[in-house]
């Protein structure tokens, strides 16, 4: 279980999010709906800033990535091709007493004494032969177990059941077989498909079944050829998308971290297969060690591209205020990889609710996965749609003709083996797989192949929560009279802060101060998010903006009017949120000073 102190911290963060308008429970006036969250005024701004930074870094600052915005509901054949209809499921267990459901891999370990019952009977002679087990904490009397057992048998129609013992109680340590709530033994795990089902058109029939997309990636694969042809890109290049996704999670948890409706930021970066790279360049470059490999090169194979995107994504997080020390780079073990993946790195953030290792250090929870997915996705859509998803690479065709026959044979054989392995793993009969793989391998000589893909996939809501958790701080700071008091502050990086600057007239009952403050507000507003506040003591206004994460405050005071110091006329007080230092800045220089700080 999580450390109580970290639970307390998370509760304070959740409380702040509600109090300051970052996140609200969806449908709250009706009791809420589990796994769904609404973003308030500050949360909406923060989330939009996160998406804007991602989009700018992915598309506007790169020549090799194009954008896409696809529909939430698509042809159900897409989800058959991707495997979601057949395999997109979590194993679920259920408590037979409370009927509460849990993901089998998320049941907390528990220890105690297990009591077993072979059935029950009541005074009317009615019986139940259903076996039942319950765990109670060590030291608790048997009556605690009987109480839960009676609830179980009452659900089976016995008015006043008398449970029948089945053997001696047994001590059990660190088991995940029992409900964290009631102690009852959980049901056997069974698969639970996570996709939300709906119907297209007026008739609810199996012919009209559709699904709310569980990820944005598949739309990118389905539109691959259209984007390739219209964007005038060529491999290697990427397609990115930001959009809503939906997963009917068994147990939504940890605030907005695991929700049923969420947003994703996904990039599918298409690359040449290593055999094509080797044919063109004579060799395939591989990583020489950890760290950023530098600017992309023509001879990069999938390993270099994968490492490149892992490092690019970590740089992105650092640039918006998540230090590398808060992140964990977890390389999935071979047995954890999806069958089509060559490598996957999970970028984790150390949330307050993260599990701890044996040293007491936070292990982190997933922010983003960066996967080398081979050519699985485009190949699947090619098989299911009957439409070619391959590309023609003129450079490959020219280079192939210059290879020795031995090299051609070697590359053809390796490409054939890769394609044959894919086809047989996806259920194609061996004879058909052999024939298709030979055709695909022969296509290399003509400059044809199905691109491979590197996929960085991030969650907007998880990143937004990570930024809030990382920014949250409780400090001691002096009030207006110099007395120390607690200050709650969100230390967002200025790039993603919901409000960039707050503007305050020192006193609201002095029209000349208010007039000048509004002029400053209007000067800044076209260039950044500005909040104007004239209510309350200036110190309290500063504190309110500290809680909102506003990095800068501008105060219009009597010096601004030139009343106390004529040489300071048309200057304002610029306050820094983190250091609380204040400096005088001329109004004519203010916009330039702030733009340099917030960009």
The DSSP secondary structure of 539-580, one letter per residue, reads HHHHHHHHHHT--EEEEE-HHHHTSS-GGGTTEEEEEETTT-
Q: What is the mean pLDDT of residues 132-150?
A: 92
Q: Which residues of 227-242 are buried (b: 16+ CB within 10 A; e: fewer)?
A: bbeeeebebbbbbbbb
| pLDDT, mean of residues 266-279 | 97
Distance CA 209, CA 198 (A): 6
Q: Which two three-digit tokens encode residue 267? A: 């990039």
List % helix, strand, coil for the chain (3-state, nearest 5).
40, 25, 35
- The whole-angstrom distance between residue 363's C-alpha and the CA centroid of its chain comes to 16
Cα 390 from Cα 379, distance rounded (Å): 8
pLDDT band at 343 (very low <50, low <70, confident <90, very high): very high
Return the minimum-mean-pLDDT range out of 22-31, 286-295, 370-379, 481-490: 481-490
The single residue listed with the structure tokens 């068994």 is 250
H/E segment holding residue 430? helix 430-443
Closest CA to 67 of 311, 305, 243: 243
Query: Which position has the token pair 């209510």?
Result: 535
**Residue (of 593, 74, 120, 100) closest to 385 by Cα position:** 74
CB 346: neighbour CB atoms within 10 A?
18
pLDDT at position 86 over 60: yes
pLDDT at 361: 84
* Nearest residue to 233 (alpha-carbon basis) of 65, 16, 389, 107: 65
Residue 4 has pLDDT above 50, yes or no: no
Secondary structure of 271-282 in HEC code, one letter for each residue:
ECCHHHHHHHHC
Q: Count of CB atoms within 10 A of residue 76's CB? A: 17
CA distance 229 to 322: 37
Q: Grade residue 2 by pLDDT with cuts at 50, 70 and 90.
A: very low
159 pLDDT above the threshold of 70: yes
The Cβ of residue 111 has, within 10 Å, a number of other Cβ atoms equal to: 13
Count other C-beta atoms under 10 Å from residue 490's C-beta. 28
Phi and psi of 83, rounded to 5°? 95, 0
Question: Chain-centre distance of CA 103, in angstroms?
Answer: 19
Beta bridge partners of 110: 175
In 405-441, which positions are buried (b, 16+ CB within 10 angstroms) versus exposed (e)?
eeebeebbebbbebbbebbeebebeeeebbebbeebb
What number is the average pLDDT over the span 397-414?
A: 95
431-478: per-residue pLDDT in tens? 999 999 999 999 999 999 999 999 999 999 999 999 999 999 999 888
Q: pLDDT over 70 for what percent of the chain?
A: 99
Q: Distances in Å between the alpha carbon of 470 and those of 26, 320, 485, 537?
A: 24, 11, 22, 29
H or E element at residue 13:
helix 4-19
> What pLDDT was estimated at residue 103?
84
- Strands 101-103 and 89-94 come out as antiparallel
CA 305 to centroid of chain Cα atoms:
22
* C-alpha to C-alpha distance for 55 and 460, rounded to whole angstroms: 12
3-state SS assignment for residue 333: coil
Residue 403: how many CA atoms within 13 Å on its side-chain side? 25
Write down the CATH number for the domain with range 4-88+197-390+450-462.
3.30.930.10
Given a contact cutoff of 8 angstroms between Cβ atoms, the answer to whether 79 and 212 are in contact is no
Q: Do 4-88+197-390+450-462 and 499-598 show the same overall fold?
A: no
Fold for 499-598, please state it. Rossmann fold (3.40.50)
Taking residues 192-206, report their average pLDDT: 89
Position 427 confidence tier, pLDDT thresholds 50, 70, 90: confident
Residue 202: pLDDT above 80?
yes
- pLDDT attached to residue 492: 97
Instruction: Give the list of residues 6+ apart from residue 421 with CB closer than 8 angstroms, or none.
Output: none
Q: What is the pLDDT of residue 410?
A: 95
pLDDT above 80: residue 570? yes
| CA pair distance 563, 556, nearest whole angstrom | 12
Per-domain residue ranges of the chain = 4-88+197-390+450-462, 91-191, 394-449, 499-598
Asked if pLDDT for residue 183 goes beyond 80, the answer is: yes
Greater confidence (355 vs 220) lies with 220
Q: Whose structure tokens read 């070619």?
A: 388
- Distance separating the N- and C-terminal Cα atoms of the chain: 41
pLDDT in tens, 525-547: 999 999 999 999 999 999 999 99
**Position 565 confidence tier, pLDDT thresholds 50, 70, 90:** confident
């Amino acid at each position: 279980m999580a450390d109580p102190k970290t639970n307390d911290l998370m509760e304070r963060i959740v409380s702040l999010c509600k109090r300051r308008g970052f996140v609200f429970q969806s449908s709250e006036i009706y009791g809420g709906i589990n796994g769904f969250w609404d973003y308030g005024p500050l949360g909406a701004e923060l989330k939009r800033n996160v998406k804007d930074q991602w989009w700018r870094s992915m598309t506007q600052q790169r020549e090799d990535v194009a954008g896409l915005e696809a529909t939430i509901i698509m042809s159900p054949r897409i989800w058959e091709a991707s495997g979601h209809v057949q395999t997109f499921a979590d194993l679920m267990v259920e408590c037979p007493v409370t009927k509460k459901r849990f993901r089998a891999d998320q049941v907390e370990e528990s220890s105690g004494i297990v009591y077993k019952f072979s059935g029950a009977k009541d005074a009317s002679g009615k019986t139940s032969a259903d076996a039942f087990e319950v765990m109670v904490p060590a030291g608790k009397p048997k009556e605690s177990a009987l109480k839960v057992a009676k609830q179980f048998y009452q659900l089976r129609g016995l008015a006043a059941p008398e449970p029948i013992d089945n053997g001696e109680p047994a001590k059990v340590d660190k088991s995940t077989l029992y409900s964290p709530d009631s102690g009852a033994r959980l049901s056997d795990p069974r698969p639970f498909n996570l996709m939300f089902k709906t119907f297209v058109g007026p008739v609810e029939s199996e012919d009209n079944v559709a699904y709310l997309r569980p990820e944005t990636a598949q739309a990118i694969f389905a539109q691959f050829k259209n984007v390739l042809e219209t964007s005038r890109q060529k491999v290697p290049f990427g397609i990115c998308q930001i959009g809503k996704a939906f997963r009917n999670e068994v147990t939504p948890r940890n605030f907005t971290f695991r929700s049923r409706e969420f947003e994703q930021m996904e990039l599918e970066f298409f690359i040449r297969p290593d055999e094509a790279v080797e044919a063109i360049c004579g060799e395939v470059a591989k990583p020489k060690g950890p760290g950023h490999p530098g600017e992309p090169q023509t001879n990069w194979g999938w390993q270099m591209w994968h490492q490149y995107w892992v490092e690019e994504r970590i740089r992105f997080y650092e640039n918006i205020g998540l230090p590398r020390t808060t992140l964990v780079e977890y390389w999935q073990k071979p047995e954890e990889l999806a069958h089509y993946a060559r490598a996957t790195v999970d970028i984790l953030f150390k949330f307050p609710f993260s599990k701890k290792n044996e040293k007491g250090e936070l292990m982190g929870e997933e922010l983003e996965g960066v996967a080398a997915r081979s050519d699985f996705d485009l190949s699947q859509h090619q098989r299911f749609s009957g439409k070619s998803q391959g590309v023609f690479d003129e450079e490959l065709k020219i280079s192939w003709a210059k290879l020795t026959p031995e090299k051609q044979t070697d590359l053809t054989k390796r490409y054939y083996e890769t394609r044959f392995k894919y086809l047989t793993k996806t259920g194609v009969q061996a004879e058909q797989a052999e024939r298709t793989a030979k055709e695909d391998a022969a296509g290399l000589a003509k400059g044809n192949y199905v691109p491979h893909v590197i996929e960085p996939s991030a969650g907007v809501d998880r990143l937004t929560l990570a930024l809030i958790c990382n920014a949250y701080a409780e400090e001691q700071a002096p009030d207006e009279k110099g007395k120390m008091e607690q200050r709650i502050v969100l230390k967002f990086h200025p790039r993603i802060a919901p409000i960039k600057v707050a503007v305050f007239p020192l006193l609201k009952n002095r029209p000349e101060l208010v007039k000048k403050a509004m002029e400053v507000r209007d000067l800044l507003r076209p260039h950044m998010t500005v909040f104007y506040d004239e209510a309350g003591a200036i110190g309290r206004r500063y504190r309110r903006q500290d809680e909102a994460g506003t990095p800068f405050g501008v105060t219009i005071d009597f010096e601004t009017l030139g009343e106390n110091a004529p040489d300071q006329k048309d200057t304002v007080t610029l306050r820094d949120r983190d250091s609380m230092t204040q400096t005088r800045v001329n109004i004519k220089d203010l916009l330039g000073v702030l733009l340099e700080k917030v960009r």
